[in-house]
Amino acid sequence: MIRTLIIAIFVLPATIFFSSLTVFLSFISKNNKLAYKTTKAWAKFVLVVSRIKVTVNGLYNIRPDRSYIYMSNHQSNFDIPVVLAYLPFQFRWVAKAELFKIPIFGYAMHRIGHINIDRSNRRAAFKSLKKAAKNIREGVSVLIYPEGTRSKDGNIGSFKRGGFILAVESGVPIVPVIIHGTWPIMPKNKTTIRPGNVTIEIKEPIETKNYNRKSKDDLLEKVRNIICESFEKGEMGKL
């Protein structure tokens, strides 16, 4: 607990500083590159202070000149700084509305162009998906946690359909991303932070052009099976 308090002493002021700087840069940077780099700097700072080492495998599977819909399992609060710091390309989150309510940090996310989903309001959620589709068609990649929330027990939960509707409507490939190792660092409903090693695994893109709204569940199952199989192999490898 003492270690977690020390981390918080460093991270909380840094979050306020980097969030404020991100907001400022978003007003003077036309393409938000400077603002985005600032958020990456924040993420790396959090990981260094928390003594978390990250390895990325499979970057050769993606092309930097293409837009994708990245879909990742969601194990911990640390998934956010992990992917933000170590995925070497710009993307926007399609994330739950609660994150955007965090003072300064939430506004910084809004200024950069991350997209919030209000799951309590079906009409607002649909509007958010349309905005995400527009961004993708303009060449912006997005990252989605299809479980919708962090895992309760370290296992992969059921997937929600919203991201797959977005995928078939935009026709953009889905890239499965598997995060290994963040659950023991900070499980859901726990405040203690432990050091650890994390691996990000990037799989081959899955084309979505042959799917439609009627067959989106088949696409969902395909993506979930790939993520679950890779995640389980990773967990078995630790035994």
Asked if residue 157 is part of any domain, the answer here is yes
The CATH number of residue 104's host domain is: 3.40.1130.10
pLDDT of 30: 67
Asked if residue 112 is part of any domain, the answer here is yes
Instruction: Please say if the pLDDT value at position 110 is more than 90.
Output: no
Instruction: Please say if the pLDDT value at position 231 is more than 80.
Output: yes
* Total of domains in the chain: 1
Q: Which of 33-42, 108-117, 160-169 has the weakest average pLDDT?
A: 108-117
Band of residue 239 on the pLDDT scale cut at 50, 70, 90: very low
Share of the chain above pLDDT 70, in %: 96
Instruction: Quote the domain boundaries for residue 203.
Output: 52-237
Other beta carbons within 10 angstroms of residue 156's beta carbon come to: 18
Asked if residue 67 is part of any domain, the answer here is yes
Asked if residue 160 is part of any domain, the answer here is yes
Asked if residue 144 is part of any domain, the answer here is yes
Instruction: Please say if the pLDDT value at position 136 is more than 50.
Output: yes
Asked if residue 217 is part of any domain, the answer here is yes
pLDDT of 216: 92
pLDDT of 23: 83
Asked if residue 228 is part of any domain, the answer here is yes
Asked if residue 9 is part of any domain, the answer here is no
Q: Environment class of residue 65 by beta-carbon count within 10 Å: exposed (0-12), middle (13-18) or buried (19+)?
A: exposed
pLDDT of 19: 85
Mean per-residue pLDDT for 54-61? 96
Instruction: Please say if the pLDDT value at position 70 is more than 90.
Output: yes
